[in-house]
Amino acid sequence: MKRQGFRYIYTLSSPEEVGTATVERQPLWSNRRDEHGPFDIIGDVPGCCDELETLLEQLGYEWSEQPIEIPGL
């Protein structure tokens, strides 16, 4: 089931467990409707590292040596 993309798997072993189970819908990890812009969207830029760095600087981004943790990934 995990190979098919299911993130959570619950095994219920009795009719009583099935009877008392509730379903709680969770938003998909890619659902970002609660986040609001402005956003900077940049397309595919293979071979344009210098131009990308210049664009990011013009947009106000700063370089950091620390890794950034992205929730849900």
Q: What is the DSSP letter of 14?
A: S
In the chain, % of residues over pLDDT 90: 36
- For residue 54, the model assigns a pLDDT of 93
Average pLDDT over residues 43-56: 91
Burial (Cβ within 10 Å: 0-12, 13-18, ≥19) of residue 5: exposed
- For residue 60, the model assigns a pLDDT of 92
Determine how many CB atoms are found less than 10 A away from the CB of residue 56: 14
Residue partners of 42: CB distance under 8 A and separation at least 6? 52, 55
Mean pLDDT of the chain: 86
pTM for the structure as a whole: 0.41
